[in-house]
Structure 1
Amino acid sequence: MTLQLGLATFSGGFIFAFLIRLLWGELVTNFGPAGGWLAAGFIVGTTWSLNHGVGLIYQTGAAWIDMAYAAGFGLFAANIIVDKADVGKGFVNIVFAIIGGILGGFLLSCMG
């Protein structure tokens, strides 16, 4: 992977985690449970189109897990850096990002 592709991939992952952190809670606060569904559609759909449709993320063999890991690790870093949370508390995000990536990959493999 070249430096340019690495920076583009990092940027795509950062944008996804940043938008989740910035907007998801606000949508849930303002619109309740429907806001969670709106956030899932708008945030995930828009960044998926940017990363995979436009091609911001450079994909290798395990491309079906990239956005789950970007969200998990990005929110983990935000919890540690911004919220000054304990690493152990942020570890829950990593575990669920891994589970989500595995589950998403399994479901996609069942369709092909």
Structure 2
Amino acid sequence: MNTTKVTSETLQMRVDSYGTVLAYGNYTLASFATWTKAERFGNNAQIYRLMEEPVSGFGPNSKGRGECELELIAESDHLFADAGHAIAWALANLPKAQPHRA
């Protein structure tokens, strides 16, 4: 079982030039270039939800958005031609009641 904390920073470390990681309110949308035997090469789509709130300021208690833990809440079941189409899927599949983030 993988117990590594997922953050925007760890997702950015995984992404290559064919993918993307985007902050969108309380969500993070991600797409990675992937190869499967059935679909060959394409991009997947993932939706993550923030599990922690950023803490502004300086010092040991501050935490930027990129350091906050994320939870995977949705993933496409097929690949897309590119990251743009994958992110379009993610935007269309966000939870309906999105909490407002100031």
Please indicate the TM-score interval, normalised by the length of the shorter structure.
Answer: under 0.3
| TM-score (normalised: structure 1) | 0.24
| TM-score (normalised: structure 2) | 0.25
